[in-house]
Structure formats: C-alpha cells, structure tokens
Structure 1
Amino acid sequence: MSLIGKKISEFKTMAYHNGEFKEINNESLKGKWAAIVFYPADFTFVCPTELEDLAENYDKFKAEGCEIYSVSTDTHFVHKAWHDSSERINKVQYPMLADPTGKLARDFDVMIEEEGLALRGSFIINPEGVIVAYEVHDTGIGRKAEELLRKLQAAKFVAEHGEVCPAKWEPGDETIAPSIDLVGKL
C-alpha cells in the first residue's frame, strides 16, 4: 500500500540538535515542509556520507522552507556521541531524531524487524503533515541530497501552481498545465 497521501501519525521523540537534546513531535513538523530521512545506524559506513551530503545542502533546503530530520533507531545520546566523534557528522545542523523503539520506522514502513534497523527511506512531508513523495532503498544504496531537493522543489511547485512537473524537471524549467487538449499529444 502506498504511503502517498498518508497523514503522519502522532509521535514524540528526542533529538540531538545544535548541541542540545530537544523533544520533537508531529506538531513540530506542521506549517512547513519537512524531509524525513531514515538511515540504518550511527557509526556505520554509508550513513555518514549521506548525512554529510544533506548537511552540505542544508542551506538549500532551508531556502525552500524545509526542515530536514534524520532518523535512526539509535538514541539521542548515541547521535551526540557520533556528532562529537565524526568529522562528517559534526557538519550536521539539522535535528537528528532518536527512534530506539522503532515506532517512527514502523509508521513509515521502513523497519527491518529482524535487525532493529531502518531501511534508507526519504520522505517529503507537506505543511499539512501529509506524505507527498518518498523513496526507499536497501541499506547498501546511498542517496543524493540534490535529488531529494529536486523532488521537494517539484512537490512545492505542484502544490503552489497546480501544474505538473515532467521528467528531469528542475526549477525554472517548463511545466505542464493538465488539459484534455494534451491527451495523446505529449
């Protein structure tokens, strides 16, 4: 079953963010765009490269009015330890959510039950708290922050303009106004 159109469930969890422990809940996401990025675990191999890539593109997401939330089944204490010990993770300025019970991973259907870890799932949530785009990868396949950013920009454009974005669309490219006159002509 697709998660598109699903309103995110109520949740409350701790996060490590800018040198502090903070509580984050579903209400924290409302009123702005959000990118929720699940990864398997702290102190691993592909995960720090992905979180660093997100950190290096964080200003671009913020310029779009979007907050990034990384999530693993580690605790907020482990997130702090990783942040303090890794040069790559030290660049992270977005909230790192703790999901030690796996509640969030299960709600977003990315939990690997037999391992207690999450798959690599990227979710774009609109300001109303509804999932509008997502993709899920196996644990060995790293993602690219710029592609997630492009999908966010397309989701925002569709929501704001009612037109649709064709393949390979980038901001500023031509879009399509759906019309019966276009049926069979594209």
Structure 2
Amino acid sequence: MSQINQQVKPFKATAYHNGKFIEVSDESLKGKWSVVFFYPADFTFVCPTELGDLADNYAAFQKLGVEIYSVSTDTHFTHKAWHDSSETIGKIHYPMIGDPTGTISRNFDVMIEEAGLADRGTFVIDPEGRIQIVEINAGGIGRDASELLRKVKAAQYVASHPGEVCPAKWKEGDATLAPSLDLVGKI
C-alpha cells in the first residue's frame, strides 16, 4: 500500500541532539516540514557519507523550515558515541533518533526483519504529518542531499500553489505546469 498522503503512525523515541538526549514523537513532526532519513547502522561505510552530506546541507534545509531526523535501529547512546568519535558524524546538528525496538522502522515499512536493520528510506513529511515523498534505496546505494533538497522545494511549492505541478528536473524559479485538458498529448 502506498504511504503517500498517509499520516505518520504514532511513535515515541529518544534522540541524540546537540549534546543532549531528547524525546521525539510523531507529534514532533507536525507544524513544519520534516525529513525522516532511515539508514542501516552507525559505524558503517555508506551511512556516514549520507549523514555527513545531510549535515553539510543542513542550513539549506533549515532555511526552508525543514527539520531533519536521522533514524537507525541503534540506540541513542550509540549515536552519541559515534558523534563523539567520528569527524564526519561530529558535524551533525540534527536529531539522531534511536530505534532499537524497530517500531519506527516498521511504522515506515523499512525494517529488514532478518537483519534487525532499516533500509535506506527517505520520507518527506508535510506540516500536517502526512508523507509527501518516499524513496527507498538498496543498501549499497547512497543518497544525495542536494537532490533531496530539490524535491523538498518542489513539495513545498506544490503545497503552496494549488493547481500547479512541478515537471521533471524542476528547480526553484523554473516554470511549472497547470494540468488541464488542453495539455493532454502536448507535452
């Protein structure tokens, strides 16, 4: 079943964020745009490249009013240890959620049951708590924060401009489309 436009399922978890442990829940995602970014595990190989790329682009997401939440099935204690021991992870300023029970990973349907790890899942959530973008990558394929940023901008544009849609490769400032009978077969 598609998760697009579905409400985020309830959850509560502890995250490591800027030197503290904080509580995060599905309610934390409401009232602003959010990205929930699942990855398999701390202290691995592809994961720190992705999380570091998000950290490098975090200010651009924040400028759009978007909060990033990274999630793995590690504990919040493991997130702190990784943050303290890795130069790449040490530059992260967004919440790193621990999901040791797999509840959040199952809620978003990214749990690899036989491994007890999450797939590389990216979810963009609107201020009402509804999922607007879903992307799942195989374990060996890292994601690109600049492409995610482009998609977030498109989702925000469409949400604030009813009746308009963003075509392929749309970038902020580009022309959009207004779907109508006149466009059928003309694109």
Give yes or no for TM over 0.5: yes
Amino acid at match of 1:179: S
What are the ranges of 5 or more consecutive residues in structure 2 without an aligned counterpart?
A: none
Counterpart of 1:75? 75
Counterpart of 1:9? 9
Compute the TM-score of the two structures, normalised by the length of structure 2.
0.98
The one-character-per-residue Cα deviations of 1:50-89 (angstroms, maximum 9, x if unpaired) are 0000000000100111000000000000000000000000
What are the ranges of 5 or more consecutive residues in structure 1 without an aligned counterpart?
A: none
Counterpart of 1:45? 45
Off by >3 Å, runs of 4+ in structure 1: none
Aligned-partner Cα distance in 1 for 2:106–2:96: 17
Alignment RMSD, CA only? 0.6
Amino acid at match of 1:17: H
1:101 and 2:101 equivalent?
A: yes
Please state how far the C-alpha of 1:175 moved relative to its aligned partner: 0.4
Aligned-partner Cα distance in 2 for 1:156–1:181: 26
Counterpart of 2:146? 146
Amino acid at match of 2:72: S
1:127 and 2:127 equivalent?
A: yes
Identity score, percent: 66
Counterpart of 1:180? 181
Aligned-partner Cα distance in 1 for 2:49–2:186: 43
Aligned-partner Cα distance in 1 for 2:73–2:42: 9
Please state how far the C-alpha of 1:138 moved relative to its aligned partner: 1.0
Count of residues paired in the alignment: 186
Aligned-partner Cα distance in 1 for 2:106–2:10: 13
Counterpart of 1:54? 54
Please state how far the C-alpha of 1:178 moved relative to its aligned partner: 1.3
Aligned-partner Cα distance in 2 for 1:172–1:15: 36
Aligned-partner Cα distance in 2 for 1:54–1:26: 21
